[in-house]
Amino acid sequence: MPTRRPPRQSHHVYVVLLDDRVWNEPSFRKANPDHALGRPCVYVGMTGLDPDLRFDKHKAGIQSNRFVFKYGLRLLPALYAVYNPMPYEAAREMEVELAIGLREAGYGVWQA
């Protein structure tokens, strides 16, 4: 009987700091009714690429989230580096969990 290989640890979650002006976007405000004044606004994503490369693609308009394209300032590795890398399914779950945790901490969060 063949042995099963463990899932590849090839995916990452990442967090992008967004300019405060994103708060002027009605859809962002609506998604964050409990945003604490003074807490950052962020985008939470997952990728099979290195987070730095994925951020560069967002900013170049390649498969970009519109908020990251327009308001993305930089990555916040202190909020995600501890989790990476991981298998695809774990990254999918962690993206949601990380977004929920940051929103509960008062961050303004966009997660696609």
Instruction: Label residue 9 by pLDDT band (50, 70, 90).
Output: confident
Q: How far apart are CA 89 and CA 29, in angstroms?
A: 29
Residues 66-88: pLDDT tens digits?
Answer: 999 999 999 999 999 999 999 99
Task: Say if residue 2's pLDDT is above 70.
Answer: no
| Edge-to-edge strand list for the sheet holding 41-47 | 72-75, 12-18, 41-47, 108-111
Residues 20-68: pLDDT tens digits?
Answer: 999 999 999 999 999 998 999 999 999 999 999 999 999 999 999 999 9
